[in-house]
Structure 1
């Protein structure tokens, strides 16, 4: 029972920290585009966001399919689980361009080169949309926890 509780706690903390990370990254990217923030602040927030996304994926898979929660059958037949997973996939798809670009920035900075900030504002907007989608995932999760069904 303690392992179930621990896994749930880690999952929920990853949501909280991930939300902070993606919102902070978005704000830092906006400030970077305006010339008022260093690239380092974007990369630190991105590290938090990326780490939390990985933790969410691992703990979520363990909870849904590893026998730690209500069981795979429950999740596969719960519409809110499908909504939550759809939102997660949308976040992953939205994240592709910022992730690839920020990896390139890290490489460029490591070589002492400058980075192209041309898409910083776009990536700020994407980050904020991802944060909204994360909040919708939490709403779906609360419905799942209470076995809300439709129909």
Structure 2
């Protein structure tokens, strides 16, 4: 019982930290005027990456680890499918910013000036990721209250 509670709490906290990190990175990217502004973006990106891992690991543990209702329950819940679709979209949207931010970090480490021309595009991606993360929270809270529950 204690582990179920802790997993749920960490999972829920992960959403808050993830949203804050995405918004922080998005703001940093919008305000980016040059390489001197990158540390703030990199910090928010690090937090976003860590929270994404926490959300995925705790989510997998809750679905497949025998700590919650189990895969049989979740895989038949329509809201779970909405939640997972939003997650997949977030991860697909993350590919381009992730690759570029890695390249920017390497350029900075090598003393080169990174190409920051796509920062605005990545900020727009962050906006959509924030919306999708909120969709995930609504789907999760709906599931917790039996909304849209599959009938047996």
Give the TM-score taking structure 2 as reference length.
Answer: 0.94
Partner in structure 1 of residue 50 of structure 2? 51
1:37 Cα deviation after fit: 6.8
Aligned partner of residue 77 in structure 1, secondary structure: coil
Structure 1 segments, 4+ long, off by >6 Å, are none
Partner in structure 2 of residue 117 of structure 1? 116
8 Å CA contact 1:26–1:123 kept in 2: the answer is yes
Separation of aligned partners in 1, 2:119 and 2:13:
28
Q: Can you give the 5+ residue segments of structure 1 that lack an aligned partner in the other structure?
A: none
8 Å CA contact 2:35–2:114 kept in 1: the answer is no
Root-mean-square deviation over aligned CA pairs: 1.5
Q: Can you give the 5+ residue segments of structure 2 that lack an aligned partner in the other structure?
A: none
Separation of aligned partners in 1, 2:105 and 2:124:
21
Report 1:2-151 matches (<5 A): 2-32=2-32, 34=33, 38-149=37-148
Separation of aligned partners in 2, 1:78 and 1:92:
21
Aligned partner of residue 31 in structure 2, secondary structure: helix
1:112 Cα deviation after fit: 1.1
Give the TM-score taking structure 1 as reference length.
Answer: 0.95
